[in-house]
Amino acid sequence: MVLFTGLNSATMNKILLIEDDEIMPKVVARILQPPDYQLDHVSNGKEAFEKLEATGYDYALIITDIMMPYANGFEILSKVKSHDREKPIPVIIVSNAGNEDMIMEAFKLGADDFLKKPIIPAELIIRVKRLLMNK
């Protein structure tokens, strides 16, 4: 299945998952599979910043948890949204701590979407496709 025609789909569908839970990356990898998606996974904020710098922020989408070691999802979101890019990278926040204040803070910082854990596979796919098509 081709999601984008006439565009470099390898770049368009490159997703960074920032998640310290051991099970979540396996679940997301089963949902967002090649050849439609290229999923890179890091397990904390420090690794996320290193990966983003090393790749020149070359991601079509970032999916991040909020509560993680070294840097939380809000810090990652702030850095990604403040990075000087022609087209900003959409960010989906995924968290099991989805109280109203946390959700509002995520959107104030520029989050493009917010999903509560456990994620529903069909919902993740729809939200990812929507954000990738809007790029």
Domain boundaries, given as residue ranges, for the chain: 9-133
> What is the pLDDT confidence band of residue 125, given thresholds at 50, 70 and 90?
very high
Mean residue pLDDT of the chain comes to: 88
Predicted structure pTM score: 0.89
Cis before 35? omega within 30? yes
For 9-133, the fitting CATH number among 3.90.230.10, 3.40.50.2000, 3.40.50.2300, 3.30.2270.10 is 3.40.50.2300
As a whole number, mean pLDDT of residues 109-124 equals 95
